[in-house]
Structure 1
C-alpha cells in the first residue's frame, strides 16, 4: 500500500489521547478522525475531527482503527468494525469475560479481518530483551516468575477491578516471556476501598512447563511498582517496566570447604549487570507493529486468540478467589 494508512480511533479518554498523539506522528499513517459518544470527551483537542459514533468514523473510509473504550464496550464496537472490514487493535483486556472475548474472536474470523490486542507490556524494551535472553538460555532452567504491579487507584477506571485491568498485563507477559501457558491458578482478592470491584489480588500459579508463578497486584499502595523477576539456575533477570531497565543478578559459586555441607546445592551473591538497551516508547513500537500487520508486512501483534487466553486466565483467577480453590486449567 503506497498511500498512508487511514486510521481511526474510538475512545478519547486518557488512553485514547495517548494513541492519538502517537498515531498523528507515526510515519505512513494518517489519523483521519476519532469517535466518542461523550460530548465532554470530544471537547478535548486531539488535532483531528471528533465524531459522535463508530458508524460516522467508518464512513470516513478508514483502513484500520484503535479501540480505547471501556472494556465492557469492546464487543459492540469491535463487531461494527469487523463487519465493515476494518483492521482493529483493541486495548487490553480484549473483553470483561471469556464468553465475550470468544465472540469477538469469532466475529473477526468470520469476516476475515485482522484483529489484535493492545497488551503494551510486550513492547516494553526491558521485557522484550528479557524474552530474548530467556530464549537463549542465559539464566539456564527457569524456576520461578514473580510480578509486582502496585500503586494508587487510578480514578479513570470505573468498570473493572485489578484482575481485569492490571493482572491481565502480568498474565499475558508471563506466558509470553516464558513461552508456556498456565496450568493452574490459586488466588485471593480483597475489597478495601469501598468500590464494587476488587482492589487487591494475590495469585500463585503453575505454568505447563512447571515454572512457579506469583502475581501481586493492587490499587492500595502509595507508590507505583511494575517489576517482573525471573529466577533460573544461573541467576535472576529483573525487569522494571516503569524505567525499562533490565538487570541480571548472577549466581556466584564458591567451593564448599566444609565437607558436611559440601553436598548442599546453594548459591551465593555474584556479579550484577544492568544492561544498556535501546528504550523506544512502548506505545510507538506497538502501533508500528500494528501498522505493519495491516500492510501485510508481518509483525509481532498480539493476536485475538492470545487476548482470549489471557481473559480466560483472568476469569479463572476470579473464580478461584470466589471459591477458595485451586483451579486446574484445560490445555
Structure 2
C-alpha cells in the first residue's frame, strides 16, 4: 500500500511515525512547505521530501493523509481526489460548509474514499462505551456531558476553542447517541486568544436528548472526560486513561478496555477501508454535521441565542 503525508507539523509527524511502523505500508513521501522540516522528516523515515503536494500526488499513491491547516483542506483535498487518491483529512473536513460539500461531492463523483480524522471515535474507551450503550446495558441514554480543558497551545492561531477542541465532543456525542444534533446554545468568551478560548456548549438531539460540553484553554491541568447517563446506570469515561467505569444501583465496575493509541487505530482503519472497501464511520457526511454544529455554536455565542440546525 503506497501512502504519503501532506503536512509535517506536530500531527503530521505522528502520521509519519505510525505509517513507518506499519508493515504493509510503503511510505512514498512527505510534503511540507517548510523545506527543512520536510527534509528532516524524510531522512528520519527513509522516504522522499516534497515541497509541493502536487508533486507527491504524481507518485501513484493509494492513500494520503492531509494534515495541513484547515483553510487549506479544500485545495489539497480536491487535488488528491483529482489524482484518484483515497484521502484521510484531519478534522474538521473543511473550514466552511460550502467547502465541505465541495470535497464530499468531488470524492463521491470520483469514487474516492474520504475519511476524516475525528480521532476520538477510534479511542478504545469510546469504542467500548459505544458497545455498552448499543447493548442497552445502562438503558436509554438521556444525557451526555464532557469536559475537555487544559492549558493553551500557542501553535493554535487560526481557530478558537470550539473548532479546535469542542468539535471532538460534538462528534462523539452525536456518535454515541446515533443521532444528529438539532439545536445548540453556547456561552463563550475570548480572554487570552484572538478567537474564543472558553466555552460551554449545550446540545439538543431529537426527543429531548441533551449534551453539554465544557471546554477551555485556561485550566492548568489537562482533563478529557465524558459522562453518559442512562435509565439503568451511568458510565464515566476518561479519554486520556482510556477507561470506562459503570455505576448502577448495585455495582461499580470497570469495563475491560485494551489501551491503544487512537491514531494508530484510525490509520489502520483507513488502510483497511482502502483495501477491503469497508464502511468508514468518520466519513465526509458525519464530519460535515460536526462542522455544521460547530459553526452554529460559534454563531450562538456571537448572537447570544440558541441556533437551530436543519
TM range (shorter): over 0.9
Aligned-pair CA distance for 1:300: 4.1
Identify which of 284, 301, 316 aligns with 2:296.
316
Alignment partner of 1:202 out of 186, 192, 200: 200
Question: In the alignment, which residue of structure 1 is the partner of 2:307?
Answer: 327
Kept after mapping to 2: 8 A contact 1:32/1:49: yes
Alpha-carbon distance between aligned partners in 2 of 1:329 and 1:225, rounded to the nearest angstrom: 29
Secondary structure in 1 matching 2:251: strand
1:297 Cα deviation after fit: 3.9
Name the structure 2 match of 1:227.
225
CA distance in 2, matches of 1:322, 1:103: 27
Matched residue, 1:266: none
Larger Rg, first or second structure (1 or 2):
1
User: Aligned match of 1:280 in 254, 257, 260?
Assistant: 260
1:10 maps to 2:9 = no
Q: State how far apart, in whole Å, the 2-side matches of 1:171 and 1:83 are.
A: 31
> How many angstroms apart in 1 are the aligned matches of 2:16 and 2:207?
40
The Cα shift of 1:142 comes to 1.1
- Count how many residue pairs are aligned between Structure 1 and Structure 2: 307
Per-residue CA deviations over 1:64-112 (Å, capped at 9, x if unaligned) read: 1001111111011001001111000000111122122111112212222
Q: What is the root-mean-square deviation in Å for CA atoms of aligned residues?
A: 1.3
Aligned to 2:188: 189
Query: How far apart in 2 are the matches of 1:141 and 1:52?
Result: 51
Deviation at 1:180, TM superposition (A): 1.1
Structure 1 CA distance for aligned equivalents of residues 68 and 228 of structure 2: 33
2:31 counterpart residue number? 35
Shift of 1:212: 1.1
TM-score between both structures, scaled by the size of structure 1: 0.90
Contact 2:292–2:309 under 8 Å retained in 1: no
The answer (yes or no) to whether the contact 2:4–2:65 under 8 Å persists in 1 is yes
Any residues of structure 2 matched to 1:147-186 within 5 Å, and which? 147-186=146-185
Q: 1:183 to 1:301 in 2, by over 3 A?
A: closer
Q: State the SS of the aligned residue for 1:302.
A: coil
Report the alpha carbon displacement of residue 27 of structure 1 after superposing the two structures with TM: 2.9
**The 10-residue stretch of structure 1 (134-143 or 80-89) with the greater mean CA deviation from structure 2:** 134-143
State the partner residue of 1:238: 236
2:225 and 2:207 map into 1 onto residues whose CA distance is 22
The within-5 A match list for 1:92-131 is 92-131=91-130
Shift of 1:14: 0.3
- 2:115/2:280 contact within 8 Å kept: no
CA distance in 2, matches of 1:41, 1:198: 30
- SS at 1:196 equivalent: coil
Deviations for 1:261-316, whole angstroms, at most 9, x for unmatched residues?
Answer: xxxxxxxxx42112222122111111111001111341544111111111001000
- Where do residues 136-147 of structure 1 align in structure 2 (5 Å cutoff)? 136-147=135-146
User: Any conservation in 2 of the 1:180–1:209 contact (CA below 8 Å)?
Assistant: no
**Contact kept? 2:58, 2:83, Cα under 8 Å:** no
- For structure 1, list consecutive stretches of 5 or more residues without a partner in the other structure: 253-269
Partner of 1:262: none
* 2:213 paired residue number: 215
Structure number with the higher helix fraction is 2
C-alpha separation in 2, matches of 1:301 and 1:18: 21
Q: Give 1:292-311 correspondences, 5 Å limit.
A: 292-311=272-291
